[in-house]
Amino acid sequence: MTDDRILLELKSISKSFGPTAVLEGIELAVRDGEFITILGPSGSGKTTILRMIGGFTQPSGGEILLEGRDITGLPINRRPFNTVFQDYALFPHMTVAGNVSYGLMVRGRPRREIARKVSEALDLVQLGPLADRYPAQLSGGQRQRVALARALAARPRVLLLDEPFGALDKNLRLDMQIEVKRLQRELDITTIMVTHDQEEALTMSDRIVVMSNGRIEQVGTPDEIYGRPATAFVSILKSMCPKTQTSLCRSYCCGHPTELPTGPSANLGITSRNSPMRDTFSSSRTFVAVTDRKVSL
């Protein structure tokens, strides 16, 4: 359950690579138990934020606080976070069990504890019977589960997910979205996910952070983002996609320009009505797509 306690804070975070500034003025407070999604087009700086939280790269300016304590300079292995990378980054020469135990071994946990936690983590993702297989002997979905089990084995305070479903085909992606959300609820684990997929963000998140060009455009619940867009950019997210002819383009970096349709009611539509995720995660929300032209309801 989300509570109002702030677990993690990004304060005035900026990041430059050489002379190029890629992030500026990033302010974000993540609540304990929250599922928060960073949504933005390719190149907007999502992965860079996640990597800074995980400790894989240092901010050029600003601070990262965990329960009020400055962890900006803390090395990766001293942060109670774990990451599922976009390509899973499994060790090909290690078995499933070996991959899942790796983080615990690096942290110097006793052998008996490691065995128990690995077995629990594999049970969580229903991979117990495949513990002795190697990554090359697994399907894409199974590899994703291994990466998830590896990240969850140490029960991190924060789970970081970078486009975790990007490599899966559509049906499997939906299954895994449901699975990840179930685990997040069951384990009550604060989760920060990065995606460019609006529907994924909409259906899985307690709050969404909309990014564009290295800046945060808006932070809010799915209802707030879709009901009261703070900027033109956020409202454009919801305009008609000429490719899918739906009011909500699944992936707004699909390469198709989103032109704002004209007419007061042209772009009024309920989004995600048929999404299987919708029934699973939200019972009463109604998402209405509007443009930055005012539409009365």
Q: Which residues bind ligand ADP (CB under 6 A)?
A: 17, 22, 40, 42-48
Cβ(118)–Cβ(97) under 8 Å?
A: yes
Among ligand ADP, Mg ion, none, partner that 48 touches (CB below 5 to 8 angstroms by kind): ligand ADP
Q: How many helices (H) and strands (E) does the chain have?
A: 9, 12
* Residues touching Mg ion, count (CB under 5 A): 1
Q: How far is the CB of 204 from Mg ion (least distance, A)?
A: 17
Closer CB to ligand ADP, residue 32 or residue 162? 162
- Hey, which residues does 105 pair with through a beta bridge? none
**Termini Cα distance of the chain:** 32
Q: How far is the CB of 237 from ligand ADP (least distance, A)?
A: 15
Q: How far is the CB of 83 from Mg ion (least distance, A)?
A: 12
Among ligand ADP, Mg ion, none, partner that 45 touches (CB below 5 to 8 angstroms by kind): ligand ADP
Closer CB to ligand ADP, residue 146 or residue 209? 209
Measured CA distances, 9 to 59, 94, 261 (Å): 13, 35, 38
Residue 47 touching Mg ion (CB under 5 A): yes
Q: Return the sign of the alpha-carbon dihedral for residues 173, 164, 141, 178.
A: negative
Whole-angstrom Cα distance, residue 113 to residue 287? Answer: 45
Among Mg ion, ligand ADP, none, partner that 195 touches (CB below 5 to 8 angstroms by kind): none
- Residue 260 DSSP class: P
Which among 235, 186, 239 has a CA at the least distance from the CA of 210? 235
Residue 192 has phi, psi (to 5 degrees) of -120, 115
CA angle, 23 then 216 then 79, to 5° = 65
Among ligand ADP, Mg ion, none, partner that 166 touches (CB below 5 to 8 angstroms by kind): none
Residue with tokens 């990466």: 147
Q: How far is the CB of 50 from Mg ion (least distance, A)?
A: 8
Q: How far is the CB of 42 from ligand ADP (least distance, A)?
A: 4
Q: How far is the CB of 266 from ligand ADP (least distance, A)?
A: 31
Among Mg ion, ligand ADP, none, partner that 44 touches (CB below 5 to 8 angstroms by kind): ligand ADP
Closer CB to ligand ADP, residue 47 or residue 184? 47
Whole-angstrom Cα distance, residue 163 to residue 194? Answer: 5
Closer CB to Mg ion, residue 98 or residue 164? 164
Residues that bind Mg ion (CB under 5 A): 47
